[in-house]
Amino acid sequence: MCGIIAYTGKRQAAGILYEGLTRLEYRGYDSAGIALSGGQRICCVKRAGRVSAIADALTMPGNCGIGHTRWATHGGAEDKNAHPHVCGKFAVVHNGIIENYMRLKAELADMGHVFSSDTDSETAAHLLEAYYRGDLLEAVQKTVRELEGSFALCLLCADYPDRVVCVRQKSPLIVGAGADGMLAASDIPALGACKKIRVLSDGEIALLSPEGAEFFDFSLSSLPAAFTDNAVRSVAVEKGRYAHFMRKEIGEEGRAVRDTARAFDGREGARLAADAGLFSRIYIAACGTAYHSALTGASLLEEALRVPVTAETAGEFCCRRPLLGRDTLVLAVSQSGETADTLAAGRLAKKRGARLAVLTNAGYSTLARLADYRFLTYAGVEVGVAATKTYAAQLAFFYALAAFLRGGRAAFLEKFPAVHKKLLREEGRIRRLAADVASARGVYFIGRGADYPSALEGSLKLREVSYLPGAGYAAGELKHGSIALLDETAVVVAVVTQKRLKEKSKNAVCEVRSRGAKVIAVTPFSDVPADAVLPLPPCPQRYYPLASEVPLQLLAYHTALARGLDPDRPRNLAKSVTVE
């Protein structure tokens, strides 16, 4: 959540910061701001709204600055709560949560400090000002020792007009070296021009200057200035011919599935397979869309390994204190590799002596660096807040891993791009159905067996981007209470792809229709008694969860458009959930 960026170098900073913020806007779009230092003063422009609201900041002169795009946690989406926060000689941008800010704020207020926002973040700027006695790093050191929680900070000091200080503690921050200066940002897309990067670790401070960077721990001991190649620097984040990133990224799923299957790490798979006999139980911990992929993955891995495999939401996994030890494998799944709850689950697993496998789309992420076994999806950068192609890539990984553990390969994944093209040809039909869905009072998704995770994910997608109330259910559970929600104002989307469960699923469809609800079936079968059908092309039974997600995503996308909404910027949501 929240995107932060910093630059110091030979070029005018405002344009670089503004472009970086547009690339980070998927992390939060409640407000935006830029601050530049120079001439022993700090100039700042910040406003509620999207990055475009601060376009006039492009005229600000200066070669050193910081920027921020906000997802609101403490304090509403108002001008006063936008970052950067300025106090005296300091300006600060922050990603994370300062958990002890109320105590710090009260202590600072007793010292005469006057606060202008409702945020936790402003306390960092006031602490810096309170501790500053002419030594910048000393003030930073004393400040970070006071802060509790998670924080990535970039800060300016008017006395150091070409310097930026960056601090990381449990929130992502990456330093990049470019041809004409140094940058830092929350995520790789904002560092596209940098040939070299360094992912800061927890407890690290970076001091950036136009000439380079120095690194320190929180005791201000020097650290090696080691950089690695930026493998993502040529990435494009433009929408091209599409109106929205969500639709563009749905269209890229065939490639994402094929590339993830082709790049499956057999050496890492072999390491995991060699140790598989040690595990008496496997947990898969994930959140949101990744959790839904984990539900499918749990079934596939349990079948392949013949040991109990349980998918759990990462936050609840930590809360319930599961039995963990050397005979346990925890597989943590996160698109960004920075999801706070999933990171907590991974750290808990390591602390209790379990082995940790990780699946992420970001090999440079915090979660990836915790792993005993590291696996990657190859979806490419995903900008749309609602996960689409990363979900497809996660499913592809689980199919590939399960096949590998059985001694084979998931050959269908190579053929999926052709199936994907056939699925996209139904978009016109989906667009017409979306008009009916958009006017429903509630939309409910049902599925049995392998179709149940698809129902959960289809419902989540629709809620995320259309704001229509609803839920996903195991089809057999609908009549145990929730069928009371159904009448002629409701729509039910039934995912029916499993041949052995088809008759039971058809019974659920009949029960729904008898209550007056309209039924849309997503199915390869011709005899499901629905009001409308989104047909699926033939494919092997086990792969229908991969095929069925495409029409479900398109239905969510077109329903959002029918309701006049921007599916790329759903309210209250951010792409990467880096706070608990």
Tell me which residues are annotated as active site: 2, 575
Reduce the DSSP state of residue 499 to 3 states and report it: helix
Q: CA nearest 175: which of 238, 164, 138? A: 164
d(CA 479, CA 489): 18
Cis status, amide bond into 84, omega within 30 of 0? yes
CA dihedral for 269, 273, 274, 280, sign (positive or negative): positive
Buried b (16+ CB within 10 A) or exposed e, 253-281: bbbbbbbbbeebbeebbeebbeebeebeb
CA distances from 182 to 6, 205, 208 (A): 8, 14, 6
Buried b (16+ CB within 10 A) or exposed e, 34-54: bbbbbeeebbbbbbbebbebb
CA angle centred on 542, ends 247 and 361, rounded to 5°: 45
- Cβ-in-10-Å burial (0-12, 13-18, 19+) of 418 comes to exposed
Reduce the DSSP state of residue 234 to 3 states and report it: coil
Amino acid at 243: A
In 284-411, where does DSSP find H-type helix?
288-305, 314-319, 340-351, 366-370, 389-405
Please give the DSSP secondary-structure letter assigned to residue 276: G
What does 502-524 look like in DSSP terms, one character per residue? HHHHHHHHHHHHHTT-EEEEEES
Residue 357's DSSP bridge partners are 331, 373
Strand order in the sheet with 212-217: 85-87, 90-98, 149-157, 164-169, 204-209, 212-217, 222-223
Determine how many CB atoms are found less than 10 A away from the CB of residue 112: 7
d(CA 81, CA 71): 11
CA distances from 573 to 1, 88, 241, 454 (A): 9, 33, 25, 21
Please give the DSSP secondary-structure letter assigned to residue 483: G
Residue 92's DSSP bridge partners are 85, 155
Question: Of all helices (H) and strands (E), which one includes residue 552?
Answer: helix 544-562
Reduce the DSSP state of residue 472 to 3 states and report it: strand
Q: End-to-end CA distance of the chain: give it in Å, rounded.
A: 11
Query: Residue with structure tokens 């499913």?
Result: 395
